[in-house]
Structure 1
Amino acid sequence: MNPRDFFEDGTVTISTTTYTVYKTKQPEETAFATIQDANETTVVAEDGTVDESNVVESEPGWKLLTFEMVLPFELVGFLAVVASELADEDISIFALSAYSTDHVLVKTDDVAAATKKLESLGCTVRVTAN
């Protein structure tokens, strides 16, 4: 299975919402995503929705790009291709995977370049309200 095949005729949606990646003292109910390990709790939430007294550090200004395609567990290297292609454009990502869908966050200033790059891979990119 070639991960590049999934870009052809694939759709990527870009959220109109702007997100912040927070390091918090505990999970937040309003978060889009929560990652909790032995060392820290990270939440991705809409800007300004996290209780500031819970915030340890934050990195604002991210847009959510969702790969609107079912990605099988057997698929190897999909996010590696995404990360590599965007890295070629000097675009940093924050990657998240759900059960069958991958998401990346890119800085707001990088959305136009990320869109152009993903379109060059064969994706249809569209903006959508959450």
Structure 2
Amino acid sequence: MNPRDFFEDGTVTVSAATYTVYKTTQPDPAAFASIQDDEEITVVAEGGTVDESTVLEAEPGWKRLTFEMVLPFELVGFLAVVAAELADEGVSIFALSAYSTDHVLVKEGDVAAATKRLEALGCRIQNEG
């Protein structure tokens, strides 16, 4: 399977919400994502919605780009292509994967450059809301 085949006519949705990536002392079940490993807890939530008493650090100003396509587990290199293409545009990403869908967060100021590059790969861009 070639990961580039999934971009052609694939849809990428840009979130209406703006997110903050938090380092916290506890997960937040109401957040878009809570990730806990042996070292830290990361919460991705709409800005201002996390209990401030749990926040250790915060990085605000992210938009979520969701790849509205089912990506099989056997697919190798999909996020590598996304990361490389956006890196060529100078766009930093924060990547998250669900069971069959990938998401990348990009800074608000980088949305136009990111979506332009993804359109060049064959993706349709739609705005949420």
TM-score, shorter chain, exceeding 0.5:
yes
SS at match of 1:17: coil
Deviation at 1:108, TM superposition (A): 0.1
Deviation at 1:60, TM superposition (A): 0.1
1:49-83: CA deviations, max 9, x gaps?
A: 00111000000000000000000000000000000
User: Which blocks of at least 5 consecutive residues in structure 1 are unaligned?
Assistant: none
> Where does residue 14 of structure 2 map in the other structure?
14
> Where does residue 64 of structure 2 map in the other structure?
64
> Where does residue 117 of structure 1 map in the other structure?
117
Letter in 1 for 2:76: V
- Cα RMSD for the two superposed structures: 0.5
Letter in 2 for 1:108: E
SS at match of 1:16: coil
Deviation at 1:30, TM superposition (A): 2.1
Alignment of 1:16-55 (within 5 A): 16-55=16-55
CA distance in 2 between partners of 1:49 and 1:14 (Å): 20
CA distance in 2 between partners of 1:16 and 1:98 (Å): 19
CA distance in 2 between partners of 1:46 and 1:30 (Å): 10
CA distance in 2 between partners of 1:106 and 1:126 (Å): 15
TM-score by length of 1: 0.98
Deviation at 1:88, TM superposition (A): 0.2
1 or 2, which has the higher strand percentage? 1
Deviation at 1:28, TM superposition (A): 1.2
Letter in 1 for 2:79: L
Structure 1 consecutive aligned stretches of length 4 or more whose deviation exceeds 2 Å = none
CA distance in 2 between partners of 1:104 and 1:23 (Å): 18
Percent of counterpart pairs with the same letter?
78
CA distance in 1 between partners of 2:96 and 2:18 (Å): 16
User: Which blocks of at least 5 consecutive residues in structure 2 are unaligned?
Assistant: none
Alignment of 1:75-94 (within 5 A): 75-94=75-94
SS at match of 2:89: coil
- Equivalences, count: 129
Deviation at 1:29, TM superposition (A): 2.6
